[in-house]
Amino acid sequence: MRIYQTENYQQMSKKAANIIAAQIISNPESILGLATGSTPIGTYKNLVKKYQDGDIDFKGITSINLDEYVGLSKDDDQSYRYFMNDNLFNHVNIDINNTYVPDGTQKDAELECKKYDEIIKKSGGIDLQLLGIGQNSHIGFNEPDSVFTFGTHCVDLTENTINANARFFDDINKVPKKAYSMGIGNIFSAKKILLVASGENKAQAVYDSFFSAITPNVPASILQLHSDVILVADKDALKIVNDKGLI
Ligand code: PGA
């Protein structure tokens, strides 16, 4: 694993965008696995700027997002499809037909999950998977569990995640309780993984995931076994790792 420690969120965002831009430049037909949440917003801002400056071109890019809330439509401003359109797709020349997010309005969970696994398979595999990390070390919506789930599945969100995501909603009762999420196997199958983390509230998750035991109770810990992981984190997110002298 390669670790880039940055001074702050802005530098983290810039570094992560540079890594994604390098992927797009080296393979203009890359399959990008993309993530939502507050952490990647700065990364997307930097990518939009690089596009506007003519440094990168999204024409041949396909994107496959990690997850979506069950019950939210693409027009709901809390849906992850809306987030992706708003933060990235509406501002670059990606073909919207080549952007995939699970369909939160699909009531047949088994069908939706099967369809999504098929999309990933048909794409030929994700070249670079961008990930945030939850305070409970979830990746996508793979919550702490007794097993690692391989494929796309319907998840009951934990109280920790519902509380963490309540900040985006005007009422905690409006936070959806379920989500469709790529599985750990889908994520692990990506050729390259780029995980971004910022802030001291992620320090425990970063330490547990990358410097402690591998267990499904710490979903991101499986990434220790992946051969090409880049962690871009600011010094607050690496606080415990630094305090313990591990890097
Ligand atoms: P955040 O979420 O970037 O909003 O902190 C990350 C995640 O839950 O994966």
Q: How confident is the model at residue 199 (pLDDT cuts 50, 70, 90)?
A: very high
- Tell me how far the alpha carbon of residue 196 lies from the centroid of ligand 1, in angstroms: 9
**Residues 103, 69: Cα–Cα separation, whole Å:** 9
Q: How confident is the model at residue 245 (pLDDT cuts 50, 70, 90)?
A: very high
- Tell me how far the alpha carbon of residue 138 lies from the centroid of ligand 1, in angstroms: 9
**Residues 6, 9: Cα–Cα separation, whole Å:** 8
**Hey, is 129 helix, strand or coil?**
strand
**Residues 232, 134: Cα–Cα separation, whole Å:** 15
- Tell me how far the alpha carbon of residue 84 lies from the centroid of ligand 1, in angstroms: 14
* Tens digit of each residue's pLDDT (9 = 90 or more) over 129-188: 999 999 999 999 999 999 999 999 999 999 999 999 999 999 999 999 999 999 999 999
Q: Report the percentage of the chain scoring pLDDT > 70.
A: 100
Q: Is 143 a catalytic residue?
A: yes
Q: Report the percentage of the chain scoring pLDDT > 90.
A: 100
DSSP letters for 24-87: HHH-TT-EEEE--SSTTHHHHHHHHHHHHTTS---TT-EEEESEEETT--TTSTTSHHHHHHHH
| pTM: predicted TM-score of the whole model, two decimal places | 0.98
Q: Is 200 a catalytic residue?
A: no
Cα pseudo-dihedral 25, 27, 30, 33, rounded to 10: -60
Helix axes 41-52, 9-26, angle to 10 degrees: 50
Q: How confident is the model at residue 45 (pLDDT cuts 50, 70, 90)?
A: very high
**pLDDT at res. 111:** 98
* Tens digit of each residue's pLDDT (9 = 90 or more) over 86-130: 999 999 999 999 999 999 999 999 999 999 999 999 999 999 999
Q: How confident is the model at residue 7 (pLDDT cuts 50, 70, 90)?
A: very high
From 13, 36, 39, mutation site for ligand 1 pocket: most ligand atoms within 8 A of C-beta: 39
Residues touching ligand 1 (Cβ under 6 Å) are: 37-39, 132-134
**Residues 190, 82: Cα–Cα separation, whole Å:** 24
Q: Is 136 a catalytic residue?
A: yes
Say if strands 67-69 and 178-181 run parallel, antiparallel, or are unpaired.
antiparallel
Per-chain mean pLDDT for the chain: 98
